[in-house]
Structure 1
């Protein structure tokens, strides 16, 4: 779906390029040059990009409130945990951390869905809506107010409700799910644009948070299996600090056979 452009110069500072996977998370995978190596599916070569590249972003697929309040709150809590895991301060995903991890995973997957499928405009009977100028509409969105145009609400304003709905469903469906901190003993991890149905969250080139997997250090072959899953689940691209440092394997070693047969 095409995105709705702002007024020239975007005077109210609405977020147009919205990160699906957070900029801070991408930055943990960057090399000394501040870049990651990215491969676009169907592309001819690997390219080097920074975390601000538009490839990582949806175009105004959700409204400003979902971006600046709902999404930011979920992201901020997760980034504190991710930094703690990365520094070695946190070694267990306990009850509190479980909620942080699952809310973030749900947000990531939901954003990817918004980017891929968009949100249809919503017509509501009995609501005519006000005659608003483009400037007035943008002021309202900046103030996190929903508006209607001729009885139709722009689809992006439904994003917040979807985020909370998917998040609640995810929690309820995974009440007994346990998460583990997984390290790469050899090699590095690949990050897809989304893991889809596989409950894996990349933290750094050597660290993942993985559902139904105890805290563990993986062999090179096991890292290769996860990287194969990342490539298979990716929609448009995948990236890493150094793709040449990321092994890829076609068959699951016994220890990961059950998990990756879903």
Structure 2
């Protein structure tokens, strides 16, 4: 799918650089300079980047409704939970928190898929649609209205349909599954661009939410194995506060049973 730029000056303030993993989540991994250390696979090198760097973003792959309404609602609820976990006011994932965690994990995976694969335009057979100007299209998108132009609906306008479809399937698949808060006292986590089928959400350098596990304190070896899995599953990059200090297992031998998603988006 080809990137479609906005009108010059972006008069309707449509989001062009769309974070796959939220900026607020990346910010919790920043060092004293306000950067994260990111290893970019295609460059085979480590860079120091700000959380707002476009490398963390898709380029207008989903529409404004999916970004500013659907995604923001899910993100805001998760970020409130993440802050509460970090400051210690939430110490376990209960029934209400479980829904927040799973909606966010599903959104993260969906965004990552959209970024890698795009969303194809859809031909609406038998529906002509309208011949809209670029300005009219952007006004409609800003108002979260779906539209077709000359019988074709742009793929990004259907992103929210996919998000809800993936979310409902994921929630259904994991009704009986519990999440645990995993903490490390000394070692730090790597955050990949996506964990893919491994059901882990990095919250901060020393906290992660892990599927099908009790709340626990991780050993050095357990953190090292999770980091090895993060590196293996990252498609384009992974980041941390200081990569040189991150433990990574040389051999994959899971010291506890990690949960994987049965459903591939």
TM above 0.5, yes or no, is yes
Partner of residue 114, structure 1:
114
Q: 1:260 to 1:227 in 2, by over 3 A?
A: farther
Say whether the 8 Å CA contact 1:38–1:49 is kept in structure 2.
Answer: yes
Root-mean-square deviation (CA, aligned residues, Å) is 1.3
Match of 1:243 in 2: 243
SS at match of 1:128: coil
Runs of 5+ consecutive residues of structure 1 not aligned to the other structure? none
Moved over 4 A (4+): none
CA deviation string 1:16-42 (max 9, x = no partner): 000000000000000111100000013
Q: Distance in 2 between the 1:72 and 1:153 partners?
A: 23
Matched with 1:198 is 198
Alignment partners' CA distance in 1, 2:260 and 2:174: 18
**How many residue pairs align between the two structures?**
261
Deviating more after overlay: 74-83 vs 247-256: 247-256
User: What aligned pairs does 1:1-262 form with structure 2 within 5 A after superposition?
Assistant: 1-252=1-252, 255-256=255-256, 258-259=257-258
Quote the Cα distance in structure 1 between the aligned partners of 2:252 and 2:235. Answer: 22
What is the distance in 2 between the residues matched to 1:22 and 1:227? 20
Q: CA deviation at 1:252?
A: 4.7
CA contact (8 A) 2:198 2:258 kept: no
Aligned mates of 1:187, 1:245 — CA distance in 2: 8
Q: Distance in 1 between matches of 2:69 and 2:55?
A: 23
Which segment is superposed worse, 120-129 or 70-79? 120-129
1:214-251: CA deviations, max 9, x gaps? 11111111110000000000000000011012100033
Q: 2-side partners of 1:255 and 1:242: how far apart? A: 24
Query: Secondary structure at 1:255's aligned position in 2?
Result: coil
Q: CA deviation at 1:213?
A: 1.2
TM-score, scaled relative to structure 2: 0.96
**Residue 81 of structure 1, CA deviation:** 0.2
TM-score for the superposition, normalised by structure 1: 0.97
C-alpha spacing 1:59/1:254, structure 2 compared with 1 (3 Å): closer
CA distance in 1, matches of 2:210, 2:259: 11
User: Structure 1, residues 20-78: CA drift from partner, whole Å, max 9, x if none?
Assistant: 00000000000111100000013242100001000000001100000000000000000
Provide the secondary structure at the position in 2 that maps to 1:197.
Answer: coil
**Whole-angstrom CA distance in 1 between matches of 2:212 and 2:79:** 22
Do the aligned partners of 2:41 and 2:236 also contact (CA within 8 Å) in 1?
yes
SS at match of 1:244: helix
SS at match of 2:255: helix
Q: Distance in 2 between matches of 1:78 and 1:59?
A: 23
Taking the aligned partners of 1:254 and 1:212, their CA distance within structure 2 comes to 14
Verify the 8 A CA contact 2:221 2:255 in the aligned structure 1.
no
Deviations 1:174-232 (A, max 9, x none): 01111000011331000000000000000000000000111111111111000000000
Residue 253 of structure 1: how far off its partner (Å)? 5.4
Unpaired runs of at least 5, structure 2: none
